[in-house]
Amino acid sequence: MQSVLYNAKKIDTVDIFNIGQAKQVLNGRKCIIVTGVTGQDGSHMVDYLLKNTTDYIIFGGVRRLSIYNHKNISHVVDDRFFLINFDLTDSHTIDSIFYKLQPSYFINFAAQSYVGSSWDFPEQTWTTNSTSIIHILESLRNHCPSCKLYQAGSSEEFGNVSYSPQDEKHPLKPRSPYGASKVASRVLIKTWRESYNLFAIQGWLFNHEGTRRGEEFVTRKITKNVAHIKFCLENNINFHPLSVGNIYAKRDWSDAEDFVDGVWKMLNNDTPEEYVLSSGETHTVKEFITTAFKELNIVGVWEGKDLEEKFYTNVKDGKKLLVQIDEKFYRPAEVELLLGDSSLARQNLGWEPQSNFSDLIKKMVNHDYKDIIIKSRRK
Q: Are 135 and 62 in contact (CB under 8 A)?
A: no
Q: Amino acid identity of 195?
A: S
Is the pTM higher than 0.85? The answer reads yes
What whole-number percentage of the chain has pLDDT above 90? 73
Pair 227, 143 in one domain = no
Report the C-alpha gap between 229 and 336 in whole angstroms. Answer: 28
Cβ-in-10-Å burial (0-12, 13-18, 19+) of 123 comes to exposed
Pair 22, 40 in one domain = yes
Q: Amino acid identity of 304?
A: G
| Residue 96 included in any domain | yes
Pairing of strands 283-284, 250-251: antiparallel
| Residue 4 included in any domain | no
**Which residues span the domain enclosing 360?**
218-251+283-338+355-374
pLDDT band, residue 64 (cuts 50/70/90): low
Per the prediction, the chain carries an average pLDDT of 90
Look up the CATH number of the domain holding residue 240.
3.90.25.10
| Residue 8 included in any domain | no
| Residue 345 included in any domain | no
Pair 141, 192 in one domain = yes
| Residue 53 included in any domain | yes
Pair 44, 182 in one domain = yes
Tally the domains of the chain. Answer: 2
Is pLDDT above 50 for 328? yes
Per-residue pLDDT reduced to its tens digit, 247-294: 999 999 999 999 999 999 999 999 999 999 999 999 999 999 999 999
pLDDT score for 19: 35
Pair 269, 324 in one domain = no
Pair 117, 228 in one domain = no
Pair 76, 164 in one domain = yes
| Residue 52 included in any domain | yes
| Residues in contact with 377: Cβ distance below 8 Å, sequence separation at least 6, in sequence order | none
Q: Tell me the mean pLDDT in the region 331-357.
A: 95
Could you tell me the strand order of the sheet in which 276-277 lies?
81-85, 56-62, 30-35, 105-108, 148-154, 200-205, 276-277
Pair 133, 167 in one domain = yes
| Residue 344 included in any domain | no
pLDDT score for 70: 82
Per-residue pLDDT reduced to its tens digit, 72-100: 988 988 889 988 888 888 898 899 889 88
Q: Amino acid identity of 39?
A: G
Question: Exposure pattern of 235-249 as b/e (b: 16+ CB <10 Å)?
Answer: eeeeeebbebbbbeb
Considering all CA atoms of the chain, what is the largest pairwise distance in Å, rounded to the nearest integer? Answer: 70
Pair 124, 143 in one domain = yes
Report the C-alpha gap between 112 and 125 in whole angstroms. Answer: 6
Pair 224, 203 in one domain = no
Pair 234, 364 in one domain = yes
pLDDT score for 112: 84
| Residue 5 included in any domain | no
Q: Tell me the mean pLDDT in the region 304-331.
A: 93
Q: Are 62 and 84 in contact (CB under 8 A)?
A: yes
Per-residue pLDDT reduced to its tens digit, 211-251: 999 988 999 999 999 999 999 999 999 999 999 999 999 99
Pair 90, 186 in one domain = yes
Look up the CATH number of the domain holding residue 161.
3.40.50.720
